[in-house]
Chain A
């Protein structure tokens, strides 16, 4: 019963997604026709042609793959350090209070400032990874630390009465609690990561990258190209979400 209702919800959700995407494309078409200037707003059809040309060009795979790896490496480093430090901070409050000002500082520095500093300090190929770390770390770190701090103390009492081992406590109580806190954070972080890495690439201009491709399209007044690359970026977000979902499923299966 549970399954059939969730399937019908899923189909219903899909139905509304299709409706909303279709109306968005219609609106875009109308807007483009009304403005009537492909440099400002290209037609959906033109964009589709440019999109096809980009995707079928010989450099497409390398470009997307390189940027994808920057995002994946940035995310992996940020995520694992946020989980480890967040857990330590959650358990040991001096660590939390030591890290808190740093995290607040990271959060307060404007994104542009971080990007420019990263470009000054690092090679253009790795600068975007540092930017991704500095923006995402505060978000994920706080999710983890708060997840630990907000665990119901009554459950911890229960675990101590039943002498549940430290490992089992982490596995059965702490990690699941963080997971529910992290779920929302991860989803936000994935979207943010894609945007930030591309923004950093636009400025740092590595030889091969989506950001560089954006910059080239803009310089050539190829607005359809900018649109097409944006669509590719959106697809990357979807790809990341899929990967995270699959990873989560496989860790659940491990249990």
Chain B
């Protein structure tokens, strides 16, 4: 066990956001979280990161280093791509950092400032910063949201590589069901606000061997869509 959430409740003012969320994230496990927009996914990650105190419930963890790719990039606008990535770990050599920058697809942009990059590039810079931190638990809030299809697949593959090398745990929030199916050891589905866990799917196949059109994944996908329809479409 790396993180154990028990009966977490959180409300902002009158509005209940999280309702009795219990969730374990194991060592080296990837947990993907799907849920309707505004249901409380970012709030859940913030709670795990310790940025928000839950009103009720209990969080246990034995983790020292948490990396967080926030929903917004949260880069320092006065620092270059290179400096932003280096910020979280000054001990890395230039060689290591440049390799990381190349892998994330920002080669040639090392000395650009965030406002000179596209949204997707900023997001990748924020991902590279988190990779550089080599956390035991990596929280990612829609990290690939403004990337095109192919770049997204490439980033997913790279994330899986990083994960296999570092043996970290990952908690990954996304709106793309396929992304969750390719990545998650477990896929959690949240209801509309207040968020409750309404579904949890374990996927045993190794990430590298997964095919989206395999029977299991097609089956899980249709169940997830049903759940999201039931719980999400109250607008």
Contact = CB atoms under 8 A, between A and B. Distances in A.
Interface of A: 154-155, 157-158, 160-164, 168, 172-173, 176, 180
B76 A161 contact: no
B78 A164 contact: no
B105 to A, nearest CB: 22
A164 B67 CA distance: 12
Given A154-B74, A161-B49, A161-B66, A172 B88 contact: no
A176 B133 contact: no
A2 to B, nearest CB: 9
B51 A157 contact: yes
Interface of B: 49-51, 65-68, 70, 72, 74, 76, 78-79, 87-88, 90, 129, 133
Contacts of B87: 162, 164, 168, 172
14 contacts: A154-B72, A154-B74, A155-B74, A158-B68, A158-B70, A158-B74, A161-B49, A161-B51, A161-B68, A162-B67, A162-B88, A163-B65, A172-B76, A176-B78
B111 to A, nearest CB: 11
Contacts of B70: 154, 158
B133 A162 contact: yes
A153 to B, nearest CB: 10
A31 to B, nearest CB: 47
Nearest to A154: B74
Closest 6 CB pairs of A and B: A162-B88, A158-B74, A176-B78, A161-B68, A157-B51, A161-B49
B171 to A, nearest CB: 13
- What is the interface of chain B mostly: helix, strand, loop, or mixed? loop
Contacts, number: 36
B76 A173 contact: yes
Contacts of B51: 157, 160-161
Contacts of B49: 161
Contacts of A163: 65
Contacts of A180: 78
Contacts of A176: 76, 78-79
Nearest to B51: A157
A254 to B, nearest CB: 15
A118 B115 CA distance: 48
A228 to B, nearest CB: 43
A162 B65 CA distance: 8
A155 B79 CA distance: 13
Contacts of B78: 176, 180
Nearest to B46: A157
Given A158-B70, A172-B79, 15 more contacts: A154-B70, A154-B72, A154-B74, A155-B74, A158-B74, A160-B51, A161-B49, A161-B66, A162-B67, A163-B65, A164-B87, A164-B88, A172-B76, A173-B76, A176-B76
Contacts of A164: 87-88
A163 B134 CA distance: 13
Contacts of A161: 49-51, 66-68
Nearest to A152: B74
Nearest to B79: A172
Nearest to B129: A162
A133 to B, nearest CB: 30
Nearest to A177: B78
Nearest to A180: B78
Contacts of A157: 51, 74
Contacts of B129: 162
A73 to B, nearest CB: 31
A66 B107 CA distance: 54
B180 to A, nearest CB: 23
Contacts of B72: 154
Contacts of A155: 74, 76
B115 to A, nearest CB: 13
B66 to A, nearest CB: 6
A163 B50 CA distance: 12
A224 to B, nearest CB: 48
A96 to B, nearest CB: 24
Nearest to A163: B65
A180 B49 CA distance: 30
Contacts of B50: 161
A161 B46 CA distance: 10
Nearest to B66: A161
